[in-house]
Amino acid sequence: MADFTSPILSMHSETLESKEAVQHFLSSLESMCKQFAKVKAEVACIAVYDSEVLIVGSRRGKAFFDSRKDLQKDFIQYCNLDENCISEPVMKTLRLATNCAETELLRKCVEDLFCCCYGKALGKPTPVPVPYDQMVRDPTAVMLCGLPNDVAIKNPSKYDIHTMQQILDNKSSISFTINRPFFDMKDSRNEGDTTETESFSSKSQ
């Protein structure tokens, strides 16, 4: 006997799967917002699904959007616009703005991750800014472990989107190892100059 699935039941199943997927994404966003809250950053994300506004974020971030029904209404109207009704230059501008916002959010997440891990390595209860330049100049003093293959330590602003996503996917493995204080290159050069001067003086005598 051939299997028969009602189109209505199929659509209902797809709708349930979509809602479950949306709830999963919202849960992930909620977790990310909690990470922002740990570093005292306020954040809010607004989504529209099936004409319903969904808001996640920090306490103040959610309170802001909850109080701005006008913004919610405008966002719903914008999301329901037919892209064919929007001029191509405007669409390009919107896509660029979206990409920039996504890049900045990822950069902030990677920066916060690195600072939290570095603070933990130093025994500090709060995030500590990472001295990227010093780590590059003196790579054996402090090491960053757990980065994806072929990814080097650098300021997050210099990573592309794909690399930042890889780092965040691997965040549970990220950690810093403090081997010794950073080598002061300036003092080293001064010591070298002094040694050379003393050597030259002794030869002259």
pLDDT along the chain (205 residues), means of 10: 44 60 78 78 81 82 84 77 54 62 84 92 92 89 88 88 88 91 62 42 44
- Are the CB atoms for 116 and 127 separated by under 8 Å? yes
Q: Is residue 141 part of a domain?
A: yes
Whether residue 100 is found in the same domain as residue 175:
yes
In which domain, by residue range, is 100 found? 87-189
Q: Is the same domain home to 104 and 181?
A: yes
Contact 46, 72 (CB under 8 A): yes
Distance CA 125, CA 116 (A): 9
Q: Please tell me the predicted confidence (pLDDT) of residue 10.
A: 46
Looking at the fold, whether 133 and 183 belong to one and the same domain comes out as yes
What is the C-alpha to C-alpha distance for residues 56 and 32, in angstroms, rounded to an integer?
10
pLDDT number for residue 192: 45
Tokens of 143: 């090491």
**Do both 96 and 160 map to the same domain?**
yes
pLDDT at residue number 21: 76
CA distances from residue 135 to 112, 170, 177, 182, 187 in whole angstroms, order as listed: 17, 21, 12, 8, 17
Q: Determine, yes or no, domain membership for 127.
A: yes
- Same-domain check for residues 93 and 76: no
**pLDDT score of 92:** 61
pTM of the model: 0.48
Pair 121, 169 in one domain: yes
Predicted pLDDT of residue 11: 43
pLDDT at residue number 118: 93
**DSSP type of residue 39:** T
The two structure tokens encoding residue 30: 């909620």
In a domain, 200, yes or no: no
Element (H, E) at 110: helix 88-121
In this structure, is the dihedral angle defined by the CA atoms of residues 8, 11, 13 and 15, taken in order, positive or negative? negative
Q: For residues 95 and 170, state if they share a domain.
A: yes
pLDDT at residue number 38: 77
Q: The CATH number of the domain where 179 resides is what?
A: 3.90.1460.10
What pLDDT shows up at residue 198?
43
Contacts 24+ apart (CB under 8 A), 88-96: none
Range list of β-strands (E), the chain: 44-49, 52-57, 142-145, 175-178
The reply to whether 12 falls in a domain is no
The answer to whether residue 14 is domain-embedded is no
Domain count, the chain: 2
